[in-house]
Amino acid sequence: MIRSSLCRAGAAALALSFLTLFHAAAQQQVPPAPAEAPTAQAPSAPNPTPQAPVFPKPDPANFTAASPTKETVNSFLQASWGFDSNRVWQVESIQKTTVDGVSKVIAFVGDKSGKEKAGSISFYVLPDGKHIIVGDSLIPFGDHPYAEYRTELQEHADGPYRGSAAKELELVEFADFQCPHCKEAQANMEKLVADYPKARIVFENYPIPQIHPQAMVAAKYGVCVAKEGGSSAFFTYAAAVFDGQEGLASADGATLTLNSAVTKAGLDPAKIKTCADSPETAKSIAASLKLAQDINIQQVPTLMINGRQVPANSSYETLKQVIDYQAKLDGIAR
């Protein structure tokens, strides 16, 4: 079973996204680079102009592990951070550990503007060379870290969708109908539909009944609406449920809210309820949860961008930057 997860706000969710995790976890200040020559002391400036960080020269003695190579680490960081033109980094060490096949990587990271203090980050590369551990998170690693998840989603993300039938640029949203932050993310999703007409934008259910008691029944109704009325009916239903989310606070309120949403989608609430109670519908929800587990999704709302995990309620500017960059990495013309 998929482990219990939380519906998290944007800042908290971003902290768990690899997009910003390294920067958020940079707790050690980077040591200054050696001065080229002593200079006379100058009067202190009241407001010094921020400058890009100057990282110290790496010591070859700190590269004791045979794998991964420095080139692979740099390719990975480029894939992860390249969407941010201000981000700069330097691989400081790749060291053996006491566990056979596990290497520890340390890198310095900062930004070109100098407005953010440079810091150091570290992570452990597992023996398979395809995953790393950062804090308590397991993250894909390698020259093309998101390729396997992209393939997994192309094969198994079969929820209702908007946009293109092709899966070249696929954006898969995992959401819980009773999650307030999933509701907030819908504004982003509507903008993405308008701004990326050539993308396939899929909805996958990720109900969390441990904290949202009515999320499962809302997800089951959604599966049946899509089955009976297609994707168009589903997104009409979904918008109505998110808009009336307060009604999901109780079982009676959920019945009224879901029936109203089904009616807005042009379908019969009694027929949808019968479908929702069927074993086949339960299997559909289980398959969506299994997919989320297989690609290591542990919170909602999550948007998978060609296999790359991003909180769906990130700033819209960040989402666009990441989508455009990932499309470029995958050789997709927009």
Token code pair at residue 237: 């239903």
pLDDT value, residue 22: 37
Over the stretch 304-332, which tens digit does the pLDDT of each residue have? Answer: 999 999 999 999 999 999 999 999 999 99
Q: Mean per-residue pLDDT for 204-216?
A: 97
Residue 73 has pLDDT above 50, yes or no: yes
Token code pair at residue 308: 């790359």
Q: Mean per-residue pLDDT for 245-260?
A: 98
Q: Mean per-residue pLDDT for 268-290?
A: 98
pLDDT value, residue 250: 97
What angle in degrees, to the nearest 10, is found between the helix axes of 215-243 and 251-264? 60
Q: Mean per-residue pLDDT for 280-305?
A: 97
pLDDT value, residue 33: 46
How far apart CA 210 and CA 212 sit, in angstroms, is 6
How far apart CA 274 and CA 264 sit, in angstroms, is 18
Q: Please state whether the peptide bond connecting residue 311 to the residue before it is cis, i.e. omega within 30 degrees of 0.
A: no
What angle in degrees, to the nearest 10, is found between the helix axes of 316-329 and 180-195? 50
pLDDT value, residue 19: 42
What angle in degrees, to the nearest 10, is found between the helix axes of 269-276 and 251-264? 120
pLDDT value, residue 148: 97
Residue 41 has pLDDT above 80, yes or no: no
Number of Cβ within a 10 Å radius of residue 74: 16
pLDDT value, residue 64: 98
pLDDT value, residue 115: 79
Domain parsing of the chain, residue ranges: 6-32+50-143, 148-329
Mean pLDDT of the chain: 88
Over the stretch 151-186, which tens digit does the pLDDT of each residue have? Answer: 999 999 999 999 999 999 999 999 999 999 999 999
pLDDT value, residue 8: 52
- Three-state secondary structure call for residue 30: coil
Token code pair at residue 137: 């998170």
**Structural class in CATH, domain 148-329:** alpha beta
How far apart CA 70 and CA 53 sit, in angstroms, is 20
Residue 104 has pLDDT above 80, yes or no: yes
Query: Which of the four pLDDT bands, split at 50, 70 and 90, describes residue 46?
Result: low
Residue 65 has pLDDT above 70, yes or no: yes
Q: Mean per-residue pLDDT for 75-80?
A: 96
Regarding pTM above 0.95, the answer is no
Q: Mean per-residue pLDDT for 232-260?
A: 98
